[in-house]
Structure formats: C-alpha cells, structure tokens
Amino acid sequence: MQKTSPVSVTETPEHVAVAGTHPSVGSAALCEIATEASGRTISPSLYNLDLAPTKIAGRRWTSYSIFTLWANDVHSLGNYAFAIGLFSLGLGGWQILVALGIGAVLLFALLNFSGFMGQKTGVPFPVMSRISFGIRGAQIASLVRGAVAIAWFGIQTYLASVVLRVMLVAMAPGLKDLDSNSILGLSTLGWIAFVALWIIQLVIVSFGMEMIRKYEAFAGPIILVTMAAIAIWVFVEAGGAIQWSGIKGLEGGDMWLTIFAGGALWVSIYGTFVLNFCDFTRSSTSKKAVVRGNFWGIPINMLVFGAIVVIMAGGQYKINGTVIESPSDIVQSIPNTLFLVLACLALLILTVAVNLMANFVAPVYALTNLFPKHLDFRKAAWVSGIIGLVILPWNLYNNPLVIVYFLGGLGALLGPLFGVVMADYWLLRRGKVNVPELYTEDPSGAYFYKRGVNPKAITAMVPAAAVAILIAFIPGLASAAPFAWFIGAGLAALTYYWVADKTQPHDDVSGESIAVASTH
C-alpha cells in the first residue's frame, strides 16, 4: 500500500489549485502551492505543470487509447520497410510471422513493465529517470532519448513530405515543374510539402497530450483499414497467390538465426518507446487498461501486421519478381488517381500519428525537464520542431554515416538506459517511489544522491553502452549486432544491481498531493 501524503486533498484548499489548469500561475507560485500540499520543498527547477504527476481521478487514456497508439505505430512505413526487409533476407511467410511473434511477446512484457511505472506514479519519463539517475543525472537519459527523437521527427516528416509530393502531383500534374530544382537539398514543392506537414504537427502538439490522444484514436482505424485494403488489392492483382517460401532458401541454423535476429531487431526498433512509454500511461485509467491496450495493440495487432507484410511482399514478388521496400512503392503504382490520392492521404495521417507519439512527445518532455522555469509543453514543442527543421533532416537521411554512426550510436545507449531504470525500479525498489521527493533539491532527498547525480547508475550504464556500441559497429561482431540492445540492457541491469546499495529502505509515497489534472 502507498503511504498517504502528509496533507490530504480535502484538508488542503490549495491542492484544488494544483489540480487545475493554472492558466495564469507562474512556476514559482505553482511550486509554493505544491510545497504547501506535500510538506516537502518543491523546486521550480524540477517542477511545473507538465512535469508534475497526474491526478488519478479524471485520467482518460483507456485500453482503446493505448491500442490506437500501436495501431498507428506498428503500421508505420519504417516498420513495413523493416519487415519487408526480412523477406529480402530470405525469410518466407511463416518465418516472418514467427520472427515478429517472438518480438511481439518480448515487447508485450517490456512495455507492461514500463507502462506500469507511469500508471502508478503519473510522471513523465524525464522525471521517472530521476529515480535511478538522480534529479540532475536524469538529464542524461532524457536528452539522449530526446536527441534521437528530434532527428527522427525531422526524418519522418521528410518521408511523409515525399508521399505528399506524390499526392499533389497526381492531383495537379502541373506541379511537377516545382519538383525539379534544389534549395538546400529540397525542391520548391518539397519545401512546400515539408513545411505544411511540419506546421500541421506543431499545431496538433500545441494542444497537448489530450489532443494527441484524440488524433491517435482518429487515425488508428483509418490505418488498419487502408493497409488491409492495399494488401487485398495486391493479393487480387497477384491472382490470389503469394510467394510463401523464402526467396533464398534459408534452412537450419541460418534460418533460425535470421528469425531470432529479426525478432531481436523488432524489439530494438521499439527501444525508444519502451523507455518513455510512461509519458502516455501516466494518464491511463488502470493497470488493466495498460495490459489490455498492449495485448490487442502488440501481439494481436502485430500478427495482423505480419499477415499484411507477407501478402504485400509475397504478392508483389509474384506479380513482377521484385521485392518492394515499402507500401509507398505499391501506392505509387495504383493506376486509379482517386484511390492513389486516398491511399497517400491515409499514409500521411499514419506518419503524422507515428511522429506525434514516437518522435515528438519525448523531446518535448526532455526540453521541459531541462528548462522547467521557461518552457511548458507548447513552447518546448515549438523548440523541438524548429530544431527538427534547421538540421535539414533530408540531408541526414541521405547520409549513411549520420544514420549509422550518429543515430545508431545514440540508439545503442537506449538499451543500457532501459536496463538501469528497470533494475532500479523493479529489482531494487520493488516499485516503491517517494514521488514528492522527485521534485526537491534538498540534499537529504531520496533522489539527490551526490550533487543530484547517482554515480552508480553512470557506472553501470557507461561500460554497458560501450559494449553495445562496439557490438553494433565492429564488422567482426555482425552476427551479434541484432542483439546489441538486449546485451546492453542486460549488462547495465546486472551491473547496477551488483553495485547498488541493497540495504537502503525505500518509501512508497503517492504524488497525489502535488498532482495536476491529466487533461491540462
């Protein structure tokens, strides 16, 4: 059972103000209110409306809300490109389904563990990281996650702009003349498409997490229906037959190694999301909602996804003997202009949905955590969006060295981060968290450690990250590279548990006394 907070809600009139939207309350005043409510000095450099825990009453992220997150993210163009790549590697239909199934089972477990943390505490990932890394050391975890996300936000927006260009030219062929020049790497039409999508996403995010929830709920069914329709069209075009067996005839050990490698890479793709899933579940209604949403959204939805991949890739191979790279390849070949435009529109809705959940929320919270006195959710969204624009992401995407070494290197850090956070929360503390102390700079606070940084978390993360990076980049270790995320996470978790002080008692104190409404 959680300890009750020092001051109950009914006894503290100020708590009503904390739970509101605070349209005119500054950071310092908000902290004064929270301090009076919790009995602990709350620091304005650690607490604001967006970083505060969410009240249990009034949470709106149901199992359907969580399911639609996965209905969108699982069916992203990047995931289709990855899964179709398994067909290129030589896996057949059933083998692809087994690989995705292995990844789905592992993800279901990992996401539940991560999601339960957010549902209980009501805090976003940067604040959650303070538990293991310290109130200042948490900046490391949130900024690494945020940097990866900002880069991919720009790249995904660029990829969506390519689809928009195809749609615009199909609707107005005369626009093709605007697509032949180059300004900083993009054509005039390319700039128009990119900036239009960039603005649309920023407007949606400006309305906060509640608007993101509504958009995901709107987009989820559209994506499922669209992808299923494309698969059926390919199946009909292929004469009702698909290439079921692998095109390279993999057998025995090589086949199973490729299958397990595919499953491991499938989990690695979600290495970012398993870290900051609490950004969403902090507003979930219950643990059951998290489990149900994950069950229908991960194993069940991924089986549907796998079936669509097999039909698309196998059907297209039967049609002309080529292996597609993405559903967008099929969309561009649709002869009917109306259906082509509708399919492009659906892919745009999908990409925006994926970008919002996977690549926008994390950097927004990271920046808010870095400058809580000056940035709220909306301002941080515009800052991260501007960064995603000025880095000219199409140039990043077209540079293999940037993708492999910069983004790949940052990605290799995510496994060790996850290992430390999970080992600390579940193995060391057994889920006990003193939420109000996550927001205090008092040196006697539970998460102050040494000058706000937990050296033992750093000690565990650094060598594990070095090993993961070496495995990912050294050619001689290529066979182990697909498992780098697991190796990094496992090493970090074991090391942290080994060096941590296991005799220290841990209090379990609710953050309800300093919580705010989840729909702000």
Concatenated DSSP letters of 97-160: HHHHHHHHHHHHHHHHHHHHHHHHH---HHHHHHHHH-TTTHHHHHHHHHHHHHHHHHHHHHHH
With contact defined as beta carbons under 8 Å apart, do 209 and 283 qualify? yes
What H or E segment, with its residue span, contains residue 27?
helix 27-38
Q: What is the pLDDT of residue 173?
A: 92
Q: Determine the angle formed by the axes of helices 125-133 and 361-370, rounding to 10 degrees.
A: 60
Compute how many other C-beta atoms are within 10 angstroms of the C-beta atom of residue 402: 17
Instruction: Enter the DSSP assignment of 284.
Output: B
Q: Is the pLDDT of residue 104 over 50?
A: yes
Residue 44: count of CB within 10 angstroms of its CB: 18
End-to-end CA distance of the chain: 28
Q: How big is the chain by its Cα radius of gyration, in Å?
A: 23
Q: What is the mean pLDDT of residues 265-271?
A: 86
Point out the least confidently predicted range of 120-134, 216-230, 249-263, 398-412: 398-412
The more confident residue out of 392 and 272 is 392
The pLDDT value recorded for residue 23 is: 46
pLDDT tens track for 414-456: 899 999 999 999 999 999 999 999 999 999 999 999 999 999 9
- 343: three-class secondary structure by DSSP: helix
Q: What is the pLDDT of residue 25?
A: 60
Q: What is the pLDDT of residue 5?
A: 39
Whether residue 21 has pLDDT greater than 50? no
pLDDT at 9 over 60: no
Whether 19 shows a pLDDT value over 80: the answer reads no
Contact present, 65 and 217 (Cβ < 8 Å): yes
In the predicted model, is pLDDT for residue 179 greater than 50?
yes
In angstroms, the CA 133 to CA 94 distance is 43
Q: Which residue has the higher pLDDT, 5 or 147?
A: 147
Which DSSP string do the residues of 199-258 spell out, in sequence order? HHHHHHHHT-HHHHHHHHHHHHHHHHHHHHHHHHHHHHHTTS----S-SS---HHHHHHH
pLDDT of residue 410: 65
Q: Which residue type, as a one-letter code, is found at position 72?
A: N
pLDDT at 255: 85
Give 14 or 364, the one with higher predicted confidence: 364
Q: What is the mean pLDDT of the chain?
A: 87
**Does residue 405 register a pLDDT over 70?**
no
Model confidence at 409, pLDDT cuts 50, 70, 90, reads: low
Q: Do residues 146 and 385 touch, judged by C-beta distance below 8 A?
A: no
- Listed residue (403, 382, 496, 472) closest to 137, CA to CA: 496
Q: Within a 10 A sphere around the Cβ of 305, how many other Cβ atoms?
A: 23
Q: Residues for the chain: how many in total?
A: 520
Q: How confident is the model over 318-335, as pLDDT tens digits? A: 888 777 777 777 777 778
Half-sphere exposure of 82 (CA within 13 A, CB side): 22
pLDDT at 73 over 50: yes
* Pairwise pLDDT comparison (2 vs 53), residue with the higher score: 53
pLDDT at 271 > cutoff 90: no
| Strongest mean pLDDT among 151-160, 233-242, 243-252, 460-469 | 460-469
Identity of the highest mean pLDDT range in 151-160, 308-317, 442-451, 511-520:
442-451
Query: Burial level of 14, CB count in 10 A (0-12/13-18/19+)?
Result: middle
* pLDDT for res 406: 62
Would you say residue 186 has pLDDT above 90?
yes
Specify which residues 54 forms β-bridges with. 516
Picking from 283, 301, 254, the residue whose alpha carbon sits closest to that of residue 100 is: 301
111 pLDDT higher than 70: yes
SS3 26: coil
Question: Comparing 164-178, 395-409, 438-452, 493-507, which segment has the lowest mean pLDDT?
Answer: 395-409
- What per-residue confidence (pLDDT) applies to 90? 80
* Token representation of residue 128: 């959650």
Write down the pLDDT at residue 291: 98
SS3 520: coil
Closest CA to 7 of 33, 30, 46: 33
3-state secondary structure of 61: strand
Contact 282, 53 (CB under 8 A): yes
- How many other C-beta atoms lie within 10 A of the C-beta of residue 138? 28
pLDDT of residue 106: 95
* Residues 258, 517: Cα–Cα separation, whole Å: 47
Other Cβ atoms less than 10 A from the Cβ of 398: the count is 12
Q: What is the percent of the chain with per-residue pLDDT over 90, rounded to a whole number?
A: 54
